[in-house]
Structure 1
Amino acid sequence: MIPVQGYTGARVAVLGLGRSGLTAARALRAGGAHPVCWDDNSDARARAEAEGFETSDLSRSGAFDGVALLVVSPGIPHLYPAPNPYVAAAWAAGVPVDNDIGLFFRSFATEDWSDYETPPKVVAITGSNGKSTTSALIAHVLETAGKSVQLAGNIGRGVLDIDEPDDGGVVVLELSSYQTDLARALTPDVAVFTNLSADHLDRHGGMGGYFAAKRRLFAEGGPDRAVIGVDEAEGHYLANQMSEGAGDDRVIRVSSGQKLTGAGWMVFARKGFLSEYRKGKQIGSIDLRAIKGLPGVHNHQNACAAYAVCRTLGLAPRVIEQGFLSYGGLPHRSQIVAEAGGVTYVNDSKATNVDSAAKALSAFKRIRWICGGLEKEGGVSALSDAAGAVVKAYVIGREAAGFAIQLSGVETEVCTTMEEAVRRAAAEAEAGDTVLLAPAAASFDQYDSFERRGEDFMVQVAKVTGAA
Structure 2
Amino acid sequence: MIPVQGLQGARVAVLGLGRSGLSAARALAAGGAVPLCWDDNPAARSKAEAEGLCVQDLHHPSAFEDIARLIVSPGIPHLYPTPNAIIATAQMAGVPVDNDIGLFFQSFATGAWASFDTAPRVVAITGSNGKSTTSALIHHILTEAGRDSQLAGNIGRGVLDIDPPEDGGVVVLELSSYQTDLARSLTPDVAVFTNLSPDHLDRHAGMGGYFAAKRRLFAEGGPDRAVIGVDEPEGRFLAGQLAEGPTDDRVIRISVAAKLAGPGWNIFARKGFLSEYRKGKQVASIDLRSVKGLPGAHNHQNACAAFAACRSLGLAPRVIEAAFHSFGGLPHRSQLIAEAGGVAYVNDSKATNVDSAVKALEAFQNIRWICGGLQKEGGLGPLNAVSGAVRKAYVIGREAAAFAVQLDAEAQVCGTMAQAVEAAIVDAEQGDTVLLAPAAASFDQYDSFEKRGDDFVAEVRARLGLDPVETV
Q: TM-score, normalised by structure 2?
A: 0.98
8 Å CA contact 1:349, 1:454 repeated in 2: yes
**What does the per-residue CA deviation read over 1:154-190, in whole Å, with 9 as the maximum and x for residues that have no partner?**
0000100000001000000000001101000100000
SS in 1 for 2:311: helix
Matches within 5 A, 1:9-88: 9-88=9-88
SS in 1 for 2:268: strand
8 Å CA contact 1:257, 1:271 repeated in 2: no
Mapped to 1, the partners of 2:456 and 2:66 lie a distance apart of: 50
Mapped to 1, the partners of 2:295 and 2:151 lie a distance apart of: 22
**What does the per-residue CA deviation read over 1:176-221, in whole Å, with 9 as the maximum and x for residues that have no partner?**
0011010001000000000000000001110000000000000112
SS in 2 for 1:391: strand
8 Å CA contact 1:151, 1:157 repeated in 2: yes
Q: CA deviation at 1:383?
A: 1.1
Q: CA deviation at 1:380?
A: 2.1
Give the residue type in structure 2 aligned to 1:80.
Answer: Y
Residue 470 of structure 2 corresponds to: none
8 Å CA contact 2:194, 2:305 repeated in 1: yes
Judge which range, 75-84 or 353-362, deviates more: 75-84
Residue 389 of structure 1 corresponds to: 389
Matches within 5 A, 1:299-310: 299-310=299-310
Residue 186 of structure 1 corresponds to: 186
8 Å CA contact 1:262, 1:280 repeated in 2: yes
Judge which range, 342-351 or 87-96, deviates more: 87-96
SS in 2 for 1:392: strand
8 Å CA contact 1:395, 1:415 repeated in 2: yes
Residue 455 of structure 1 corresponds to: 454
Give the residue type in structure 2 aligned to 1:464.
Answer: R
Residue 111 of structure 1 corresponds to: 111
Give the residue type in structure 1 aligned to 2:105.
Answer: F
8 Å CA contact 2:355, 2:382 repeated in 1: no
Mapped to 2, the partners of 1:395 and 1:104 lie a distance apart of: 42
Q: CA deviation at 1:464?
A: 1.8
**What does the per-residue CA deviation read over 1:81-103, in whole Å, with 9 as the maximum and x for residues that have no partner?**
01211111111111100000000
8 Å CA contact 2:366, 2:433 repeated in 1: yes
SS in 2 for 1:345: strand
RMSD: 0.6
Q: CA deviation at 1:381?
A: 3.4
Residue 278 of structure 1 corresponds to: 278
SS in 1 for 2:68: strand
Residue 226 of structure 1 corresponds to: 226
Mapped to 2, the partners of 1:350 and 1:238 lie a distance apart of: 26
8 Å CA contact 2:127, 2:214 repeated in 1: yes
8 Å CA contact 1:288, 1:300 repeated in 2: yes
8 Å CA contact 2:2, 2:27 repeated in 1: yes
Residue 145 of structure 2 corresponds to: 145
5+ residue gaps, structure 1, are none
**What does the per-residue CA deviation read over 1:34-61, in whole Å, with 9 as the maximum and x for residues that have no partner?**
0000000011001111111111111111
Q: CA deviation at 1:385?
A: 1.0
The answer to whether structure 1 residue 464 and structure 2 residue 463 are counterparts is: yes
Mapped to 2, the partners of 1:460 and 1:84 lie a distance apart of: 39
The answer to whether structure 1 residue 157 and structure 2 residue 163 are counterparts is: no
Residue 315 of structure 1 corresponds to: 315
**What does the per-residue CA deviation read over 1:445-468, in whole Å, with 9 as the maximum and x for residues that have no partner?**
110000000000000110221114
**What does the per-residue CA deviation read over 1:377-410, in whole Å, with 9 as the maximum and x for residues that have no partner?**
1232331112110000000001100010111x21
Residue 444 of structure 2 corresponds to: 445
Mapped to 2, the partners of 1:83 and 1:148 lie a distance apart of: 40
Mapped to 2, the partners of 1:275 and 1:192 lie a distance apart of: 18
Q: CA deviation at 1:257?
A: 2.7
Mapped to 1, the partners of 2:110 and 2:248 lie a distance apart of: 31
Mapped to 2, the partners of 1:219 and 1:55 lie a distance apart of: 36
The answer to whether structure 1 residue 413 and structure 2 residue 418 are counterparts is: no
Mapped to 1, the partners of 2:121 and 2:105 lie a distance apart of: 11
**What does the per-residue CA deviation read over 1:253-302, in whole Å, with 9 as the maximum and x for residues that have no partner?**
00013100001000000000000000000000100000000000000000
SS in 2 for 1:332: coil
Matches within 5 A, 1:355-366: 355-366=355-366
Q: CA deviation at 1:369?
A: 0.1
SS in 2 for 1:17: coil
Matches within 5 A, 1:290-369: 290-369=290-369
Q: TM-score, normalised by structure 1?
A: 0.99
Give the residue type in structure 2 aligned to 1:218.
Answer: F
Residue 398 of structure 1 corresponds to: 398
Mapped to 1, the partners of 2:253 and 2:235 lie a distance apart of: 9
**What does the per-residue CA deviation read over 1:356-390, in whole Å, with 9 as the maximum and x for residues that have no partner?**
00000000011000000011112323311121100
Give the residue type in structure 2 aligned to 1:49.
Answer: E
Mapped to 2, the partners of 1:254 and 1:262 lie a distance apart of: 13
8 Å CA contact 1:128, 1:199 repeated in 2: yes
8 Å CA contact 1:8, 1:31 repeated in 2: yes
Share of identical aligned residues, percent? 74
Matches within 5 A, 1:196-275: 196-275=196-275
Give the residue type in structure 2 aligned to 1:417.
Answer: T
Q: CA deviation at 1:20?
A: 0.1
The answer to whether structure 1 residue 422 and structure 2 residue 421 are counterparts is: yes
Mapped to 2, the partners of 1:311 and 1:94 lie a distance apart of: 43
Mapped to 1, the partners of 2:257 and 2:329 lie a distance apart of: 21
**What does the per-residue CA deviation read over 1:60-114, in whole Å, with 9 as the maximum and x for residues that have no partner?**
1111001000000011111100121111111111110000000000000000000
**What does the per-residue CA deviation read over 1:327-378, in whole Å, with 9 as the maximum and x for residues that have no partner?**
0000000000000000000000000000000000000011000000011112
Residue 173 of structure 2 corresponds to: 173
SS in 2 for 1:117: coil
5+ residue gaps, structure 2, are 468-472
SS in 1 for 2:269: strand
Residue 433 of structure 2 corresponds to: 434
